[in-house]
């Protein structure tokens, strides 16, 4: 069985390269060249073909890490994958495999997919794994700052990107990740409450921008509104499936008369999405909406402002909570929520009708 010491002291051959198997981890080899270069590698077979993936040099990658990466590579092989073939694939293609695997364990895989599509994919397009360098990450983060993205969004981009490259390392595609382990910014706790006058100003400034106005009329989250499908518009309400909701529960949104008029005016297009992307009708909108709110606010702060305004109008807290699609336990109490399943749909409709009158002043 190999040890850290033996990996450094095995005598090099006079010519060529020798391979010394690790007795503790199947498939792991120490390759020692005649020039004294010592490299960890994984050997395996796919479809009768022998393959090899390099894990990095001794000293840069320790034995424990080499064994861990080997186990991950062999697990991928057992699933029918060929990690050695990934070297020639584009990063955007590899992301598809990564996202498919992560979708099994993530609670909100669609959020990571949206972050990647909007903020990461443009920087990785046409690049292969070894083409992306630490300097490229620095340029990507600088571009996020230039776009005016909030610190929490930059942290999310870092989380998605670093997770993707760690996955590539685990599969043996890369020897190390070009993305630094630490997030680029400190987490910011948001408590900005937009006043009714500020919300009215957003409404006036969003004339012709229906997705922003729908956010104001329904208190939906940005992702929920931008990805809205026509199949989710059912008469005088929206019925958004659990898969698209943050809490993984279906959400029914009563539509006020202005909200219905807004949606009716958009009918007749070819897209399945109410707000399709400019690049094609087969994708939802991912437009940056931050320009519609004050500089010290985010588009998500609209929900806090609407919830506060509804409270000032005398709407019951549990009705506001249901409008905002909060977890039942946080709305009506943990034990009570198990037994009390009323949806208060008529109360929610009345609250939104009152809010629309106030919003449009």
Tell me which of 47 and 136 has the higher pLDDT: 136
Dihedral of CA 259/260/261/262: which sign? positive
pLDDT given at position 340:
47
Which residues does 99 contact at the CB level (< 8 Å), separation at least 6?
Answer: 109, 112, 113, 116
Residue 339 has pLDDT above 80, yes or no: no
- Check whether 92 has a pLDDT greater than 80: yes
Q: How far is CA 251 from CA 20, 273, 334, in A?
A: 59, 18, 19
| 4-19 pLDDT tens trace | 999 999 999 988 889 9
Residue 131 is predicted with a pLDDT of: 85
Cβ(98)–Cβ(121) under 8 Å? no
Confidence at 169, pLDDT banded by 50, 70, 90? confident
pLDDT tens digits for 198-247?
999 999 999 999 999 999 999 999 989 999 999 999 999 999 998 888 88
Cross-strand partners of 42: 28, 53
For residue 306, give the 3-state DSSP assignment.
helix
pLDDT of 25-59, one tens digit each? 999 999 998 888 898 989 998 878 788 887 878 88
Residue 338 has pLDDT above 70, yes or no: no
Q: What is the mean pLDDT of the chain?
A: 88
pLDDT at 104: 78
Percent of the chain with pLDDT over 90: 55
Cβ-contact 93, 125 below 8 angstroms: no
Q: Are 253 and 260 in contact (CB under 8 A)?
A: no
Give pLDDT, residue 87. 60
Tokens, residue 189: 């706790």
């Amino acid at each position: 069985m190999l040890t850290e010491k033996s990996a450094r002291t095995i005598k090099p051959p006079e010519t060529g390269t020798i391979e010394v198997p690790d007795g503790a981890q199947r498939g792991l080899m120490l390759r020692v060249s005649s020039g004294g270069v010592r490299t960890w590698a994984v050997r395996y077979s796919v479809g009768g073909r022998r393959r090899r993936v390099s894990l990095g040099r001794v000293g840069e990658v320790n034995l424990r890490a080499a064994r861990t990466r080997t186990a991950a590579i062999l697990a991928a092989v057992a699933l029918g994958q060929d990690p050695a073939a990934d070297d020639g694939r584009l990063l955007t293609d590899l992301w598809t495999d990564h996202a498919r695997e992560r979708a099994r364990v993530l609670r909100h895989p669609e959020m990571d997919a949206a972050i990647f599509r909007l903020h990461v994919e443009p920087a990785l397009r046409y690049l292969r794994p070894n083409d992306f360098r630490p300097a490229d990450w620095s340029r990507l983060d600088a571009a996020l700052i230039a776009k005016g993205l909030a610190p929490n969004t930059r942290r999310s981009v870092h989380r998605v990107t670093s997770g993707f490259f760690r996955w590539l390392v685990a599969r043996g595609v890369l020897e190390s990740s070009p993305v630094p382990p630490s997030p680029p910014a400190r987490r910011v706790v948001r408590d900005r409450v937009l006043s009714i006058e500020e919300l009215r100003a957003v409404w006036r400034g969003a004339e012709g921008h229906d997705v922003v106005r729908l956010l104001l009329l329904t208190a939906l989250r940005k992702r929920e509104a931008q990805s809205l499908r026509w199949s989710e518009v059912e008469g005088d309400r929206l019925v958004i499936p659990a898969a698209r909701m943050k809490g993984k529960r279906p959400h029914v949104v009563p539509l006020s008369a202005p909200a219905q008029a807004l949606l009716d005016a958009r009918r007749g297009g070819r897209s399945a999405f109410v707000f399709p992307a400019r690049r094609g009708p087969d994708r939802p909108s991912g437009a940056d909406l931050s320009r519609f709110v004050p500089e010290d606010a985010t588009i998500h702060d609209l929900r806090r402002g609407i919830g506060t305004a509804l409270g000032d109008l005398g709407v019951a807290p549990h009705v506001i909570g249901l409008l905002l699609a909060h977890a039942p336990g946080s709305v009506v109490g943990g034990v009570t929520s198990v037994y009390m399943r009323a949806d208060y749909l008529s109360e929610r409709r009345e609250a939104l009708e009152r809010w629309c009158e106030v919003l449009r002043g």
